[in-house]
């Protein structure tokens, strides 16, 4: 039995913000539908801050059944506006764009671009004057943080699929500009701003992401597919073997040339 078949068609969304912890279960393989929602106030501890893993455990335990394939929406993921020159954006592929934004984000986030994952949502240019740069809402997570969350989800019996910031989810679905970005971030970052309607709106914006991920996944950081990892390892092994063969051939050729030169003399 593969890992994916083990979890079936159940998708679990865990939400952690300063004013809310929630769990939403979606069922259905081709057209997922919202099955159940649970929410509560975040636990607090005066002695020590509650870790994200502990908050995720609280959210997961709100439901009555085990978690499945898990997505996490959390305000603790670094998410800010990052700009790139328009000529760079025009010629860059999707991977190159994410890589360039990761290096730009590193200056503010302090997270290495080479040891992190990013998601980027293009923002609407609402200025009447043509600009030389393009703005993106970038979410950046370090590889270490991803591994920590992945281990926490595995310990709970689930499989981590994707991460996102709530503001990025809503901005991505509505194609909004800078003013709305600041408003959405403020709504989710302050505990007093939360309302049940805000959660309902977030869940509605989340549905297109899990229904058509290839078209609506710009705001999410995804797990690296194991097939891709194995393929990269295989290619690395073949490259190493090719280098070894070349080195052996080169040394042998050099040795033979030197031997002939000495014999000639």
The predicted pLDDT at position 4 comes to 41
pLDDT in tens, 53-97: 999 999 999 998 889 899 999 999 999 999 999 999 999 999 999
Q: 164 with 140: CB under 8 angstroms? A: no
Q: pLDDT at residue 247 above 50? A: no
DSSP state for residue 80 in the 8-state scheme: E
CA distance 57 to 50: 11
Q: 162 with 221: CB under 8 angstroms? A: yes
Q: Give which of 82, 155, 152, 85 is closest to 122, Cα–Cα.
A: 82
The predicted pLDDT at position 67 comes to 92
The predicted pLDDT at position 82 comes to 96
Could you tell me which residue, 44 or 7, shows the higher pLDDT? Answer: 44
Percentage of the chain lying above the pLDDT 90 cut? 56
Q: pLDDT at residue 128 above 70? A: no
The predicted pLDDT at position 212 comes to 84
pLDDT in tens, 138-182: 999 999 999 999 999 999 999 999 999 999 999 988 877 788 888
Model confidence at 259, pLDDT cuts 50, 70, 90, reads low
Q: pLDDT at residue 217 above 70? A: yes
CA distance 165 to 15: 9
Query: According to DSSP H, which parts of 61-195 are helical?
Result: 86-91, 94-109, 143-155, 166-174, 178-189
CA distance 15 to 166: 9
DSSP state for residue 65 in the 8-state scheme: S
CA distance 16 to 22: 7
Give the class (CATH, top level) of 3-79+139-223.
Answer: alpha beta
Structure tokens at 28: 């259905």
The predicted pLDDT at position 246 comes to 47
Q: How do the domains of the chain map onto residue ranges?
A: 3-79+139-223, 229-265
The predicted pLDDT at position 229 comes to 46
Structure tokens at 57: 């455990």
The predicted pLDDT at position 258 comes to 47
Model confidence at 224, pLDDT cuts 50, 70, 90, reads confident
User: What 3-state class would DSSP assign to 82?
Assistant: strand
Q: What is the 3-state secondary structure (H, E, C) of 231-254?
A: HHHHHHHHHHHHHHHHHHHHHHHH
Distance, C-alpha 204 to centroid of its chain? 20
Q: pLDDT at residue 107 above 50? A: yes
CA distance 156 to 230: 26
Q: Give which of 186, 196, 191, 190 is closest to 19, Cα–Cα.
A: 191
């Amino acid at each position: 039995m593969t890992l994916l078949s083990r979890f079936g068609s159940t998708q679990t969304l865990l939400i952690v913000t300063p004013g809310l912890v929630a769990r939403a279960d979606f069922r259905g393989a081709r057209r997922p539908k919202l099955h159940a929602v649970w929410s509560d106030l975040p636990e607090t501890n005066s002695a020590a801050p509650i870790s994200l893993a502990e908050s995720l455990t609280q959210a997961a335990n709100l439901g009555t059944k085990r978690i499945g394939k898990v997505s996490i929406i959390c305000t603790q993921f670094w998410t800010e506006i990052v700009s790139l020159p328009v000529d760079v954006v025009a010629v860059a592929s999707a991977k190159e764009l994410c890589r360039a934004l990761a290096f730009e984000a590193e200056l503010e986030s302090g997270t290495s671009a080479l040891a992190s994952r990013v998601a980027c949502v293009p923002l609407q240019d609402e200025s009447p004057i043509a600009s030389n740069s393009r703005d993106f809402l970038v979410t950046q997570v370090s590889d270490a943080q991803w591994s920590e969350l992945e281990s926490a989800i595995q310990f709970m019996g689930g499989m981590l699929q994707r991460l996102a910031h709530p503001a990025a989810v809503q901005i991505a679905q509505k194609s909004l500009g800078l003013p709305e970005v600041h408003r959405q971030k403020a709504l989710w970052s302050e505990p007093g701003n939360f309302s049940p309607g805000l959660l309902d709106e977030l869940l509605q914006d989340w549905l297109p992401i899990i229904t058509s991920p290839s078209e609506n996944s710009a705001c999410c950081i995804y797990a690296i597919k194991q097939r891709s990892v194995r393929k990269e390892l295989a290619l690395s092994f073949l490259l190493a073997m090719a280098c070894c063969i070349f080195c052996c051939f080169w040394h042998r050729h050099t040795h033979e040339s030197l031997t002939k030169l000495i014999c000639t003399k």
